[in-house]
Structure 1
Amino acid sequence: MNRRDFASMLFTHAVGTPAVVYGLTQAPAFAQEKYPSRPIRMIVPFPAGTAPDVSARFVAERMSKTLDQPVIVDNKPGASTIVGAQQFVATRPDGYNLLYTANVTLSINPHVYKKLPYQVSDLIPVTRTLAIPFVLVVRSDSKLKNLSDLIQEAKRTPGRLNYSSYGVATAPHVAMTYFCNNAGVSMTHVPYKDGGLVDLLGGSIDTAFSPVADVLQYLKTGKLRALAVSSAARIKSLPEVPAVAEMFPGFDGDSWHALFVLKGTPQSIADQLAAAARGVTASEEFSKFLADMGLVPAGDSPVQFASFLTNDSRRWEKVVKDNKISAE
């Protein structure tokens, strides 16, 4: 799959749980053997060909070279990543099963579902591989020229402006809700299985907070106009577009992909996996792979990622609860 195909399929969701202490517990006693001595399975709770699958395969292939064992992607899609996460937590914590997922698994699902077949504390952070900025977009012929115009129009006619997303409780939906809360406005949510980009281009949808890779080509060709980005600061791919945080300090609505091991995995194995994964995310090859799509390499250490997850989860928990978002 080429980068344009990957870009066209990018979609995301959002993350974690509040006040969780992320860390490895005392590992069970396994027979001493060189790790890894056999292939490693990387569970991806998304269908083949989707963005998390494509980025997971990039990471897995290069981790294989470092670890000198195949890292095999195993797609287990379904139920907003719940199917794959459930299968992952049923495995043995020996480092031969990994979970590569997006933020929905940890930061949104625990707040929108009353019951889950996994606990956030079961998933131990290895590294966050990449960040996915969202772009607040309108058609190029829209009378809304900037973020202030959008806010003023939404305040003038509450609920009249509509926006699309990939569905209730997906990251674009929650990110736009977060924006509306900050701006003190209301708009009408129209969920689409495919994100609604066709209807946005066609004129029946007013705006969207879309993953950057979905819309970058339309911004470059002038079919869409970017009003703001969700990142804490401006992004390299759209340097002229302001961050929402420039108007509302502290705003950060990006999505992400990341790698996890199971609670109880020996610390030495977790460290080895983290080093292999971060070797990929720190590479120039990975940066180039992401650059054309506007994505941002991350590569947090396990400690940095754990702290990030706690803060990220608290943010989305508040948005979900304040707005009574439910995915039951």
Structure 2
Amino acid sequence: MKPVSLLAEQPFIWIANNKFPASTVLEWISLAKARPKKIVFAHNGVASFTNLGAEMFMQLTGSEMLAVPYKVNATPDLLSGVVDMKMEPASTAIPLIKSGMVKALAVTSATRMPSLPDVPAMAEFFPGFVVTGNYSVWVPAGTPPKIVESLNSELVKIVKQKEFQNRVGEISIRTIGSTPEVLWAETRKESAAWERLIKERNIKVE
């Protein structure tokens, strides 16, 4: 495949049910260390962002939590207390947070989110702890360079429009509109980091 553009990114938010004893990142770390394998977190499958984000937390804190994979939405089980927490895309986490149904512990963007100024970024505690879902466009490897260039130009025009930015900003998506080179470099960098984590944590990818 040939890269065209990294269009946008969306962070995740670590949310917990209201019965969860910890309300801050530091309390969460202390609890995880004091109660190995007792904190139960939901994720979307082995090696998914929601799984790897938790694995990164455990590696950095020297703690162990209990992972429960879900093929369906785990929010009902989170609210009922079947699981303690999960890393949720910002677009679906924010309504739950604003309604008071869950509590937010941290965001996975590099800095705090304007819509949740009181919720810290994980990077404040662990520099480099950034996990985002990326929206990118790729084309078949044999696509002529002129077509790639033209497609990139048109896509970047769209994502740079103020109306478009405001629209997707409402669901916590940050527009980028990169060059093909930036998308390629970011993809290689991110893939290498995840591969290293998978190896170090001995994660068995099915």
Fold in common (TM above 0.5)? yes
Question: Which residue identity is paired with 1:250?
Answer: G
Q: Is the 8 A contact 2:19 2:81 kept in 1?
A: no
Q: Tell me the C-alpha RMSD between the 2 structures.
A: 1.3
- Given the alignment of the two structures, is residue 306 of structure 1 paired with residue 181 of structure 2, yes or no? no
Give the partner amino acid of 2:96. Answer: Y
1:323 aligns with 2:204: no
Matched residue SS, 2:164: helix
Q: Deviation digits for residues 223-278 of structure 1, max 9, x if unmatched? A: 11111111111122222211101001111111211100121221111100001111
- Within 5 Å, which residues of 2 pair with 1:156-171? 156-171=34-49
Unaligned runs of 5+ in 1: 1-122
Q: CA deviation at 1:161?
A: 0.4
Whether the aligned pair in 2 keeps the contact of 1:131 and 1:257 (CA below 8 Å) is: yes
Report the number of matched residues: 206
Could you give the per-residue CA deviations for residues 30-49 of structure 1, whole angstroms, max 9, x where no partner exists? Answer: xxxxxxxxxxxxxxxxxxxx
Q: Distance in 2 between matches of 1:140 and 1:294?
A: 23
Q: Distance in 2 between matches of 1:250 and 1:314?
A: 14
**Distance in 2 between the 1:316 and 1:285 partners?**
34
Matching of residue 134 in structure 1 with residue 12 in structure 2: yes
What is the alpha-carbon distance in structure 1 between the residues aligned to residue 85 and residue 13 of structure 2? Answer: 10
Contact (CA 8 Å) 1:162, 1:188: kept in 2 or not? Answer: yes
Counterpart in 2 of 1:94? none
CA distance in 1, matches of 2:39, 2:201: 18
TM-score, structure 1 normalization = 0.60
Aligned equivalent of 1:235: 113
Distance across 2 between alignment mates of 1:142 and 1:285: 39
Question: 2:142 is matched with which residue?
Answer: 264
CA distance in 1, matches of 2:205, 2:73: 17
Alpha carbons of 1:222 and 1:313: their partners in 2 closer, same or farther (altered >3 Å)?
Answer: same
Match of 1:280 in 2: 158
Identity value in percent:
30
Residue in 2 that maps onto 1:146: 24
Equivalences for residues 59-70 of structure 1 within 5 A: none
Instruction: Encode CA deviations 1:5-36: one digit per residue, 9 max, x unaligned.
Output: xxxxxxxxxxxxxxxxxxxxxxxxxxxxxxxx
Contact kept? 2:6, 2:182, Cα under 8 Å: no
8 Å CA contact 2:14–2:88 kept in 1: the answer is yes
Scaled by the length of structure 2, the TM-score of the pair is: 0.94
Where relative contact order (Cα < 8 A, 6+ residues apart) is larger, the structure is 2
Shift in CA distance, 180/219, structure 1 to aligned 2, threshold 3 Å: same
Tell me what 2:87 maps to.
209
- Alpha-carbon distance in 2 for matches of 1:237, 1:311: 28
Residues 134-189 of structure 1 deviation map (CA, whole Å, 9 limit, x = unaligned): 10111234321100111100000111101001122211111111122122211010
Q: How far does residue 326 in structure 1 lie from its aligned partner after superposition?
A: 2.9
Larger radius of gyration: 1
The residue aligned with 1:251 is 129
Q: In 1, distance between residues paired with 2:89 and 2:138?
A: 23
Supply the AA of the counterpart residue of 2:118. E
Distance 1:186 1:195, change over 3 A: farther
Once the 2 structures are TM-superposed, how far is the Cα of residue 195 of structure 1 from its aligned partner? 3.7
* SS of equivalent residue, structure 1 residue 133: strand
- Distance in 2 (alpha carbons) for counterparts of 1:284 and 1:171: 29
Aligned to 1:292: 170
Structure 2: distance between partners of 1:282 and 1:323: 39
Letter paired with 1:151 = I
